[in-house]
Structure 1
Amino acid sequence: MEALAEQVAANRHDRLVMAGAANLARTERDFTGSIFPVLEAIEEQVTILRLFGEMDLDADEVSARIGRENADYGLSETSVLASGYTAQGGSVARLGVLGPTRMDYSGNMVAVRAVARYLSRLLGDEN
């Protein structure tokens, strides 16, 4: 069992699945400087993966990083709402929403929490 766990950990890959990036450019007033750093961070993926990796995410909880909290990643004009969900093998995976600081926090927090719970149930049924 220990050897199997080591093999799974060795073959683990962090990856980012993204949708809706075009929605970030809908309104010019959302980003006072330029949307370029946001799109570049999304394209590079490693920046977003590092940001999610540093957020303390548990299943069924939503964490928020707003504005200046994201400055180290070049995303000071964005907010990130994220949650963990139980993935296959019992590990915690992450999902979230990245958007302008003027986003609908309550609505997006409810959506992130609901999707995380759904994924935990769905993936839990497969084990």
Structure 2
Amino acid sequence: MGTQNDVVFSAKYDATIMLGGTVNTNIQPISYKTRKTDSGGSMVSFKLPESSLNFLAQNARGYMSYHTKVSNTNETITSVSGYYKHKVKNLSVTPTINWPLGGGLTISSSNTYVDETPPPYFSLEIK
């Protein structure tokens, strides 16, 4: 089993800033929030950038690699699989009207997770 130092993560996105009629686009890095390796595998979590009124974040892309050494020379075929999951925040607004002359607004939020498919998978033969 490897360590966290065997996991290499790199991510970036295109940042477009609009100020006073001027549009400037450049590439910005994304740092990881959590990096973990254990007997179940390796994972990296990171927060996707958010757009605002004068800032557009798009084309986010990330890469994760894992460095390892073959310690069992009898094993000649190995497989690697993975999956990508991201959190989606849901916001719900519910207005209420009461008689006589009353009302309110209820705001609630929830999170769901979306799996991207198909999951990456490959096999290779070590010679």
Task: Specify which structure has the higher proportion of helix.
Answer: 1
Q: Shared fold by TM > 0.5?
A: no
Q: Please give the TM-score of this superposition, normalised by the length of structure 1.
A: 0.29
Q: Please give the TM-score of this superposition, normalised by the length of structure 2.
A: 0.29
Task: Specify which structure has the higher proportion of strand.
Answer: 2
